[in-house]
Amino acid sequence: MASILLVILLSTDRWAQKDVNPALFSRELMRNSSSFLKDEEVNGDPQILLMKAHAATSSIGSATVIIAVLEKIGTLKIASVGDCGLKVIRKGQVMFSIPPQEHYFDCPYQISSEAAGQTYQDALVCSVNLMDGDMIVSGSDGLFDNIFDQEIISIISESSGVDEAAKALAELARKHSVDVTFDSPYAMEARSRGFDVPWWKKVLGAKLIGGKMDDITVVVAQVKTVAVPEDEGGDIEEQKGNEQSIAISVSSAEQNEE
């Protein structure tokens, strides 16, 4: 049996302009992902899970999506389309991170109801072996565009649990997103891609800075080693030589763009 960690970010602006509720597509996609988790064909493969969930989704819209399936032996399998992010923090350091997928700057890949959109075949697929005590931080670009890795590590280390950490990360991302004086990860990336203030402002020492206002979704999970009952140990015992399994404690938080 596997646990599942999902983060889906809506593509709000374009669909809202077409009088389509942008939340319907992502909600149905998430429901379908949960429904197909134990499907025999899926067999713990997040890319196949995305394929079946997308095919079963009838709502109009699009979304960036990240699906991560955790196996009992501690392997986190990931399929990601777009610019949602996932980081694994171990002993105060980011030891694993997935890069965004973009057509060009600020234009991410998206799973869509339209034929022109991306599919499960475009997903970035990877895996990471987790250890007891690891922290998983996953979220929309509204989180990672506005918070640096060191800020994430600090909040994780100072929080009493995943619930407090998720809320604190979402709130800090919101504060940074509306701060026009904050030199955010988004602003730094924009400058590195050639986007900046007009030349005459540069002469005066100005540069492109500020947070990025966006919807923010955060999921924080803590990895724990748990005992497996003898009647459920089975192949776990064969693979690890003991009756232990990896599980996660999960909490989420959101901040909506105003």
**Which residues in 154-169 are b (16+ Cβ under 10 Å) and which e?**
ebbeebeebebbbbbb
Chain Cα centroid distance, residue 102: 15
Q: Which amino acid is at 172?
A: L
Which domains does the chain show, CATH number per domain?
3-178+213-255 (3.60.40.10)
pLDDT mean for each 10 residues of the chain (258 residues): 60 70 88 90 94 95 92 91 95 96 94 90 96 94 96 97 95 97 97 92 90 92 77 40 64 72
Cβ within 8 Å of residue 171, ≥6 positions away = 253, 255
In Å, how far are 79, 98, 125 from 194, measured between CA atoms? 30, 23, 29
- The reported pLDDT for the residue numbered 53 is 94
Alpha-carbon distance of 65 to 50, in angstroms, equals 9
Q: Helices (DSSP H) in 94-148: which residue ranges?
A: 141-144
The pairing of beta strand 124-129 with beta strand 75-81:
antiparallel
What amino acid is encoded at 135 in this protein?
M
pLDDT at residue number 97: 97
pLDDT at 125: 97
Q: Coil, helix or strand for 196?
A: coil
The answer to whether the CB of 165 falls within 8 A of the CB of 251 is yes
- Where do we find the tokens 């803590």? 222
pTM of the model: 0.87
